[in-house]
Amino acid sequence: MSIGPEAAISNRAGSVRRPGRSRWERLAYNENFWAYLFLTPTIIGLLVFSVGPILAALYFSLTKWNVVSAPIWQGVANYQKLLRDALFWTALRNTFRYMLGFIPLSMSVSLVLAVALNQRVRLQSLFRTLYFTPSVCSIVAMAIVWRLMFDRDLGLLNYLLGFVGVERVPWLMTPRTAMPAVIIMSVWQGIGFPTLLWLAGLQGVPQSYYDAAEVDGAGRWAIFRYVTWPFLTPTGFFMLILACINSFQVFQQTFILTQGGPRRSTYTLVYQIYDKAFRNFEMGYACALAYVLFAFVLVLTFFQFRLQGRWVNYEIA
């Protein structure tokens, strides 16, 4: 008895298999094909708008280019010039000053707020919303408001300091107070996101640990030190990485509040990149500065990952 082409075909082992599908039918049922098809627009956008500019900046950092004329190849001359540039070292020093002031203040204040917001009080949701509101506002708009608040004669801060007998402080007019003013504004504007992360970490601590500590007679500080903090170390490590990266990228605050002054006291690395690229049209030199900035962030992040084992606890988190 003959078997038609539509019928099932028996193999030597006696099992039954269906006739082979066409190439397009196999593609229609191929999950990898559909996954890459839907990812294609994202991959193209990543290559065109991220990877492409990164590689182009590397090339331009080895050239002399003023945007208008064709780039002239000069090798590592921009990097050699950078090492002799006194303004670069000033910008680097100011960037580290900002980082060393912003990171401890931001992380500590946000942790205190998170502990306070984790308590069961009335209007808890309202307070959480109020503290997060500055993080969703435009940083440029917030900087303009703070510039008015820092005003020596009409600013709100000096008005409040007058009630306690403190003389008017020229916040944005002297090198001694300009950088602290920028740090204060940055901490206030960005306090919502780290507070939210700390709060999420606090809510992940099992209540049974607190109950056991109270039974043993531990005080509040001991409970925080030996119960709460070990659970928060992974969150703290993640926030430390983000804070370091954000510190090296500070620009809007200094641009709106001080324009890099007074006397270059708030002149940071990103501000110098902007200055060289869009004011002096030294685009090749600006690209070299950008890659040096990337190198600092990469090295700093690498060391943080190497040192995390000494204080980050993943076993109980």
Number of domains within the chain = 2
Distance CA 16, CA 19 (A): 10
Whether 136 and 186 map to the same domain: the answer is yes
- In Å, how far from its chain's centre is CA 176? 27
Helices (H), the chain: 23-28, 31-46, 52-60, 77-84, 86-117, 124-132, 139-149, 156-163, 175-189, 192-202, 207-215, 220-223, 229-248, 252-257, 269-278, 283-307
7 — alpha (psi -120 to 50), left (phi > 0) or beta?
beta
Residue 38 has pLDDT above 60, yes or no: yes
Q: Within this chain, do residues 48 and 159 fall inside the same structural domain, yes or no?
A: no
What domain range includes position 26?
A: 20-60
Query: 102 or 220, which is more confident?
Result: 102
Which two tokens mark 244?
Answer: 């370091």
pLDDT in tens, 112-154: 999 988 887 777 778 888 888 888 888 899 999 999 999 998 8
* Same-domain check for residues 53 and 136: no
Question: Is the domain of 102 the same as that of 139?
Answer: yes
Task: Tell me, yes or no, whether 97 and 188 share the same domain.
Answer: yes
137 dihedral zone (left: phi>0; alpha: psi -120 to 50; beta): beta
Overall pTM > 0.75: yes
CATH label of the domain that carries residue 223 = 1.10.3720.10
> Is 241 within 8 Å of 306 (Cβ atoms)?
no
What pLDDT, on a 0 to 100 scale, did the predictor assign at position 23? 75
**Interatomic CA distance for residues 113 and 117, integer angstroms:** 6
10/243: higher pLDDT: 243
How confident is the prediction for the chain on average, in pLDDT? 88
Residue 298 domain flag: yes
Together in a domain, 191 and 272: yes
pLDDT value at position 298? 95
